[in-house]
Structure 1
Amino acid sequence: MTANHANGHTHDDAVEAVRQGARRRTFAVISHPDAGKSTLTEALALHAHAISEAGHIHGKASRKSTVSDWMDMEQDRGISITSASLQLMYRDTVLNLLDTPGHADFSEDTYRVLAAVDAAIMLIDAAKGIETQTMKLFEVCRHRGIPIITVINKWDRPGLDPLELMDEITEKTGLEPTPLTWPVGISGDFHGFLDRETGEYVELTATAGGAQIAPEEHFAPDEAAARVGQDWTTALEGADLLSASGDDHDQETFLAGLSTPVIFAAAVRNFGVRRLLDILVDLAPAPEARNTANGETRALEEPFSAFVFKLQSGMDSAHRDRLAYMRICSGIFRRGMNVTIARTGRGFATKYAQQTFGQSRDVVDMAFPGDVVGLVNASALTIGDTLYTQLPVEFPPMPTFSPEHFAVARALDSSRYKQFRRGIAQLEAEGVVQVLRSDLRGDQAPVLAAVGPMQFEVADHRLRGELGAPIRLEMLNYSLARRTDERSAGTLNAERGVEVLERADGELIAVFSDQWRLQSVSRAHPDLMCEPFMAAKD
């Protein structure tokens, strides 16, 4: 082997990076809260044999927590607050599953996760159809050109008519739904499904509490008619209507973001989950060359590059460290290699590299394009950082959402002020909340800015429990923010119902009591800079 570069990146490395990248599928699950996202994540892990028993048990009193929901707040409330990274193996394909926060208050974190995936599963509650948060996340996927696989979940409960759901997908998203399976039995009476590719009836059998993989049996059409009678006839009629309308899967339109393959499932009973895994392997895109900040691309075979899309601390009380999640874009990652941080030009040693499975950690020695690796003790890294070896590169920055809720944070115990400052800095670095400061308020009273109020609850919970720095929050009467500059700051600060604060990255943020106040100030001072937050583009 002849090294192309000083660090030993070889022709063989380039070939292996491309080969291994082709085996990867990196995807996220997006949905409205309570659509069953964490349960689906658990079911996928079960079918990929990553766990031996699903964590969900019917009935809240006896419910176990799912492997991806590790924070005690998540387990108490039954919702996902943080993002989790799980790596699964199925049919010799490596599946990198990024579970995302389901609650709308954490949409900024979800947006960052979506920057790191190549496909998304849109999970829809059969009874509720496409809900508000799902549409918001769908728009992010559309903006980023992420192909979408649709799963109609909870078909074991009463819900909408399947054709009605197909019409809703078309009307609300503009995507052409192309069902790969069609339910046999109405919602609430889920026997199994018609596989539109083979024409077979796949019958599913529930297991106790949905803890084990649901057994499947395949029957020819004539056998299906004898087993389930009219339900099979109804399913065939629905499938015939789809075929007559041309609603058959087309890989080209799927990858172009024009159509979405659809399956029906009941994740809590592990129904339809194996079919979803097959779709991910057979249809979801593998990693490709990635756009850079200067409009060029970074090919998979080029030397190592990655970007940080999430920072997380407090995953384990025994590990007082910060984990930086990076998505590998090119080359081969080897634990211990020295990489360069594009933002600072400084080196970073990767001696401690891990892959996470929910809260648990395993050392990773080597990883490839599409993989997500956690770098430990990553205090030098920030969200959006590009890491590389040899050939310099920088990927587009992460967007920052416009906050709508604001509160002053003060330490309850003045003797723990050092812990308070350290904790605020940690939450700021992780993107739990935006932290705004001013000379007038001082460091002892930073302003926490959030997209949704539950972010304040998480900040308070973590500062109090994990960081030992309880706080008092004083809500401020501001409801929107705009970017501004030094020239405009003095005039804006003199206006009633307006305040200018500074973010850690040096950005000046003007906060206003309401839309009417913003309009009034803008009319009085049309030359001032008051720009809306802009999402970063690839």
Structure 2
Amino acid sequence: MGFIEEIKRRRTFGIVSHPDAGKTTLTEKLLLFGGAIRVAGAVKSNKIKKGATSDFMEIERQRGISVATSVMGFEYRNYKINILDTPGHQDFQEDTFRTLTAVDSVIIVIDAAKGVEPQTEKLMNVCRMRKTPVIVFVNKLDRPAQDSFELLDEIEKQLKISTRPLSWPINSGPDFKGVYNIYNRSLRLFDANVQEVEEGIAFDDVNNPDLEKYIGEDADTLREELELVEGVYPEFDVNEYLKGDLAPVFFGSALYNFGVQELLDSFVEIAPFPRPSYTEEREIKPDETTFSGFVFKIHANIDPNHRSRIAFVKICSGKFERNKVYKHIRSGKTVRISSPTAFMASQKEVIDEAYPGDIIGVPDNGNFIIGDTLTEGEEVHFKGLPSFSPELFRFIENADPMKSKQLAKGVDQLMEEGVAQLFTSNFNGRKIIGTVGQLQFEVIQYRLEHEYGAKCRFENLSMHKACWIECDDKKVLDEFKKRKHQKMATDKRGRDVFMADSGFILQMAQDEFKDIKFHFTSEF
């Protein structure tokens, strides 16, 4: 198969949702179709005991939530599919935002009873900003759900995107009978006792009296609703979807593996293959022959038996080859990657080559940070991978003086992963951890103890915002740092950070020092 054909058969997408909308369950069912797993690992009532395939950190199994992005690849109908399953919990949204820079399209999972929730809106804003094509999967139809038309109205209003149903549910909850696939005109009936996927019943004409045989008195309601769908919603236009202006909608129940195949079959046909990426210097097209890629995530200890760190690299152009020498742009050094891996959640296999759209794992001894670029020599810098200004702050203290080395190493590696941000106070040299959510502190404490054998404790720190500062006039910058010495810190890369106690103090500083630029993301 040629280089261009390999690119065109790639589908790299992220699955995002509000917590508990069924995102990880949907991921597992997609993996079942790809033959990547033989039995789903997550059964709702048994999740903590069993753990989902895509949740590979111990704390995720215990809490029954995803706190890191998992990458999984599999083959389906001659397509190479790469899924990035993201954390739904808002305390880990930074990981999700960064993951969205590495995908070409997104599936948003919505709970049919709860509708659009706040976290879903935030994630949609990121997709809109990047013009990422979006498919909506309305999940949990096996439970009582909102009226489908009202739900679609809510999706359009809250997510600010036009919708077009490509399948339609027949009732919900105890009366749920199945879905009619509008896209390929077939009927699929729901049976809670059957989780094997059966072929849909071809049904070109819903006015055919045979429909009553399958769904009884609900046939008339389905006909009316489908007529309404055709009258109210625009024809499905693939180009509108690819531009990010139209979201096709599918209905089903991931837990019962129902409606998932319709979603996957339509997805591989309409979803985009790898799209151009943007660097500060120029646009990079996937079909360029020279290799380029960027690090969007770093993860330590995927395998608890080996203290290994892996950098997740998204390939943007050219063909990646094992053992070839590439340039690490930030350091200016060359690197030879002898054991690149492809992922199936926590299982990894060494690969010899990879193509645009693929995500590879590169063993990392501390050489990489998030946002690093690898090329065959061209000096380019990928953009769109910021760290956000944290909202919660704690001093971190060593709880076991015998383990100070382990603590320092653990904190260093977790910060490189982008789990949280580390600042060092210029005033007293104390280490400050900044996060966007309370749960991150628990994850840090847990992982330090269980992965590095180090114990820490946190001390409260009342702080409003951390902002990165810069100024062309060194004299002005020095004066600011002198005046605000007690509130100054440096981040991991040695950049100046102003720690403002309150919004009022921040505003005062901005008004007084007009020449200083205050940045609320680390990318500037």
**What's the TM-score, normalizing by structure 1?**
0.91
Find the aligned partners of 1:168 and 1:145 in 2 and give their Cα distance. Answer: 20
Q: Which residue pairs with 1:370 in the alignment?
A: 357
Query: Does residue 454 of the first structure (1) align with residue 442 of the second (2)?
Result: no
Given that 2:389 and 2:522 are in contact with CA atoms closer than 8 Å, whether structure 1 keeps it comes out as no
Q: Which residue pairs with 1:474 in the alignment?
A: 459
Letter in 2 for 1:408: F
Q: 1:435 to 1:384 in 2, by over 3 A?
A: same
Query: Does residue 214 of the first structure (1) align with residue 202 of the second (2)?
Result: no
Q: Which residue pairs with 1:5 in the alignment?
A: none
Tell me how far 1:481 sits from its aligned partner. Answer: 2.2
The Cα offsets for residues 70-117 of structure 1, whole Å up to 9 and x where unpaired, read as: 112111111110100000211100110001111111111111110000
Given that 1:413 and 1:470 are in contact with CA atoms closer than 8 Å, whether structure 2 keeps it comes out as yes
Q: Which residue pairs with 1:297 in the alignment?
A: 284
Q: Which residue pairs with 2:261 in the alignment?
A: 274
Q: Which residue pairs with 1:514 in the alignment?
A: 502
- Residue 50 of structure 2 aligns to a residue whose secondary structure is coil
Tell me how far 1:526 sits from its aligned partner. Answer: 4.2
The Cα offsets for residues 375-418 of structure 1, whole Å up to 9 and x where unpaired, read as: 11342111111111154433225111110001111111122211
Given that 1:82 and 1:100 are in contact with CA atoms closer than 8 Å, whether structure 2 keeps it comes out as yes
Q: Which residue pairs with 2:326 in the alignment?
A: 339
Letter in 1 for 2:87: P
Task: Specify which of 495, 503, 506 is matched with residue 491 of structure 2.
Answer: 503
Letter in 2 for 1:516: F
Letter in 1 for 2:235: D
Alignment of 1:293-442 (within 5 A): 293-396=280-383, 398-442=385-429
Given that 1:214 and 1:269 are in contact with CA atoms closer than 8 Å, whether structure 2 keeps it comes out as no
Q: Which residue pairs with 2:236 in the alignment?
A: 249
Find the aligned partners of 2:426 and 2:510 in 1 and give their Cα distance. Answer: 24
Find the aligned partners of 1:373 and 1:295 in 2 and give their Cα distance. Answer: 23
Query: Does residue 483 of the first structure (1) align with residue 491 of the second (2)?
Result: no
Q: Which moved more, 1:428-437 or 1:514-523?
A: 514-523
Find the aligned partners of 2:49 and 2:178 in 1 and give their Cα distance. Answer: 26
Find the aligned partners of 2:444 and 2:192 in 1 and give their Cα distance. Answer: 40
Find the aligned partners of 1:224 and 1:52 in 2 and give their Cα distance. Answer: 34
Find the aligned partners of 2:498 and 2:44 in 1 and give their Cα distance. Answer: 48
Letter in 2 for 1:406: F
Q: 1:58 to 1:343 in 2, by over 3 A?
A: closer
- Residue 253 of structure 1 aligns to a residue whose secondary structure is helix
Q: Which residue pairs with 1:234 in the alignment?
A: 221
Given that 1:157 and 1:189 are in contact with CA atoms closer than 8 Å, whether structure 2 keeps it comes out as no
Given that 1:204 and 1:217 are in contact with CA atoms closer than 8 Å, whether structure 2 keeps it comes out as no
Tell me how far 1:298 sits from its aligned partner. Answer: 3.6
Q: 1:92 to 1:364 in 2, by over 3 A?
A: same
Given that 2:274 and 2:286 are in contact with CA atoms closer than 8 Å, whether structure 1 keeps it comes out as no
Tell me how far 1:530 sits from its aligned partner. Answer: 5.6
Find the aligned partners of 1:165 and 1:378 in 2 and give their Cα distance. Answer: 48
- Residue 406 of structure 2 aligns to a residue whose secondary structure is helix
Letter in 2 for 1:114: L
Given that 1:343 and 1:386 are in contact with CA atoms closer than 8 Å, whether structure 2 keeps it comes out as yes
Tell me how far 1:494 sits from its aligned partner. Answer: 4.7
Tell me how far 1:315 sits from its aligned partner. Answer: 1.2
Unaligned runs of 5+ in 1: 1-14
Find the aligned partners of 1:312 and 1:269 in 2 and give their Cα distance. Answer: 32
Letter in 2 for 1:112: R
The Cα offsets for residues 264-289 of structure 1, whole Å up to 9 and x where unpaired, read as: 01001100111111122101000133
- Residue 267 of structure 1 aligns to a residue whose secondary structure is coil
Task: Specify which of 79, 92, 96 is matched with residue 78 of structure 2.
Answer: 92
The Cα offsets for residues 476-531 of structure 1, whole Å up to 9 and x where unpaired, read as: 001222222474465467569x71111122322212222233234444x2436362
Tell me how far 1:534 sits from its aligned partner. Answer: 4.1
The Cα offsets for residues 148-199 of structure 1, whole Å up to 9 and x where unpaired, read as: 0000011111111000011011111221110100001234532211111343
Tell me how far 1:457 sits from its aligned partner. Answer: 1.1
Q: Which residue pairs with 1:8 in the alignment?
A: none
Equivalent pairs counted in the alignment come to 516
Identity %: 36
Given that 1:192 and 1:203 are in contact with CA atoms closer than 8 Å, whether structure 2 keeps it comes out as yes
Q: Which residue pairs with 1:82 in the alignment?
A: 68
Letter in 2 for 1:101: P
The Cα offsets for residues 222-246 of structure 1, whole Å up to 9 and x where unpaired, read as: 3322221232322221221121124
Given that 1:482 and 1:530 are in contact with CA atoms closer than 8 Å, whether structure 2 keeps it comes out as no
- Residue 255 of structure 2 aligns to a residue whose secondary structure is helix
Query: Does residue 109 of the first structure (1) align with residue 95 of the second (2)?
Result: yes
Q: Which moved more, 1:453-462 or 1:262-271?
A: 453-462
Tell me how far 1:58 sits from its aligned partner. Answer: 4.3
Q: Where does structure 1 differ by over 6 angstroms across 4 or more consecutive aligned residues? A: none
Task: Specify which of 171, 175, 196 is matched with residue 157 of structure 2.
Answer: 171
**What's the TM-score, normalizing by structure 2?**
0.93
The Cα offsets for residues 273-326 of structure 1, whole Å up to 9 and x where unpaired, read as: 111111221010001332222133344232111111000011112221110100
Find the aligned partners of 1:495 and 1:362 in 2 and give their Cα distance. Answer: 51
Find the aligned partners of 2:489 and 2:478 in 1 and give their Cα distance. Answer: 9
Query: Does residue 67 of the first structure (1) align with residue 53 of the second (2)?
Result: yes
Letter in 1 for 2:467: R
Q: 1:515 to 1:439 in 2, by over 3 A?
A: closer
Letter in 1 for 2:437: G
